[in-house]
Structure 1
Amino acid sequence: MPTGVALRDAREQLFAAAERILLRDGPNALTSRAVTTEADCAKGVLHRHFDDFDAFLAALVRDRIGRIDGQAAALRASAGSGAVVDTVTDALMTVFGTVAVTIVGLVISRDGLRARLRQAGSSGVPVLGEATAMIAEYLAAERELGRIAAQADVDTLAPTLIGAGHLLFADREGGPPTAAAVHKVVTTVLAGVTREA
């Protein structure tokens, strides 16, 4: 006898369930049974769509990386408008205000997942690498517009901003930082390189 409810888009419902578990309970609580229970579906649904649980997790990570790619395009398009520090602050709040921090913890804690992502061409730490590239591309666009100093090393500034942002958001017990706290970090990192009026 079937259990659970009918799933219209099983993959997305399973991803959403995994994301809720990650946000609520952290990477250690993420199991195939926990995901299917959270999605209110039979365990076989997950295995009907994915070869195994690591394949599911790899697809989840790639899906969330795709969201960063969409954000990156919007961020690049915003170059030249608004204050650079405000724009970078908003970008960090968006990236780390989602499931990104727990995805990083998940990738770090699961050897099989890391191996699968590397086979698919990922390097470094997935999500953090894409977020770093997003910030670097934005800063480079602002440098071309003269709003960032010509000598600014955006390839150093971007990972510095992502690393600092990750540290601010990584404390699962203390809650997320305020926008003011993130803004202060961005202002400090970009001090001396912004050329805005």
Structure 2
Amino acid sequence: MIGRDGPSRLTGRAVTQEAGVATGLLYTHFANFDDFLLGYAVDRTFQISGLVAGLPDRAGSDTVAENLSEALLATPMDTLLALTRLLAFRPDLTAGVRAVLGDEADGLAAIEHAVARYLAAERNLGRVPSGADTQALALAVVAVLHHIVLSGETEAAARTRIRRTTGALTAFPASTPT
């Protein structure tokens, strides 16, 4: 619904109508609609966190660009789109997600932290230049993902752009000048 109609159209009635259940069912499980939205945001953030959690363990395998691309593409674009739009529309939910999942898990922050840890591991193996700012690179990777997700491209186009961009971001020179 969020991807199709946008977050401004979300109501308890719209959600239950879409699900084909009685409106009261939502309130059997949640105190109010805000609790439902928080539950949704926590669930989707937890899913995304789980999909990228193993990225640092891939250090030393495949190429840096392939590993990053696969981690970014593990989460379905519609999930990322819905979560990103919801958190942009309701930024107050971010604090609730942090309260439940921790400071490193508020929407796309889980991806950023996993990418930074992964790039640091690759730097320790010498596959990323020793002077590379892994935090800045991780932020750039997430910014690209955020832009691509919100641009509403087809899944195929988004995949192509993510692969191309991770390749460009990780095309490190063979030796870094001093």
Q: How big is the shift at 1:69?
A: 2.2
Q: How big is the shift at 1:175?
A: 2.7
Cα deviation 1:54-106 (Å, max 9, x = unaligned): 11111111111111221223222222211110111122222462412221211
1:166 counterpart residue number: 146
Q: How big is the shift at 1:50?
A: 0.9
Q: TM-score, normalised by structure 1?
A: 0.76
Contact 2:84 2:146 in 1 (8 A): no
Contact 1:135 1:158 in 2 (8 A): yes
Between 1 and 2, higher relative CO (CA 8 Å, sep ≥ 6) is seen in 2
1:188 counterpart residue number: 168
Cα deviation 1:36-56 (Å, max 9, x = unaligned): 112211111111111111111
1:94 counterpart residue number: 74
Alpha-carbon RMSD across the aligned residues, in angstroms, is 2.5
Separation in 1 of the partners of 2:95 and 2:104?
Answer: 11
CA 1:189 to 1:163, structure 2 compared with 1: closer, same or farther past 3 Å? same
Q: Which of 117, 138, 143 is the aligned partner of 2:118?
A: 138
Q: Which of 36, 55, 61 is the aligned partner of 1:56?
A: 36
Q: Which of 155, 162, 169 is the aligned partner of 2:135?
A: 155
The residue type equivalent to 1:100 in the other structure is L
The residue type equivalent to 1:175 in the other structure is T
Q: How big is the shift at 1:32?
A: 1.1
Separation in 2 of the partners of 1:194 and 1:131?
Answer: 27
Q: Which of 70, 77, 85 is the aligned partner of 2:65?
A: 85
Over the matched positions of the two proteins, sequence identity in percent amounts to: 32
Contact 1:79 1:138 in 2 (8 A): yes
Separation in 2 of the partners of 1:76 and 1:194?
Answer: 22
The residue type equivalent to 1:93 in the other structure is L
1:175 counterpart residue number: 154
CA 1:93 to 1:118, structure 2 compared with 1: closer, same or farther past 3 Å? closer
Gaps of 5+ in 2: none
CA 1:82 to 1:28, structure 2 compared with 1: closer, same or farther past 3 Å? same
Q: How big is the shift at 1:194?
A: 7.8
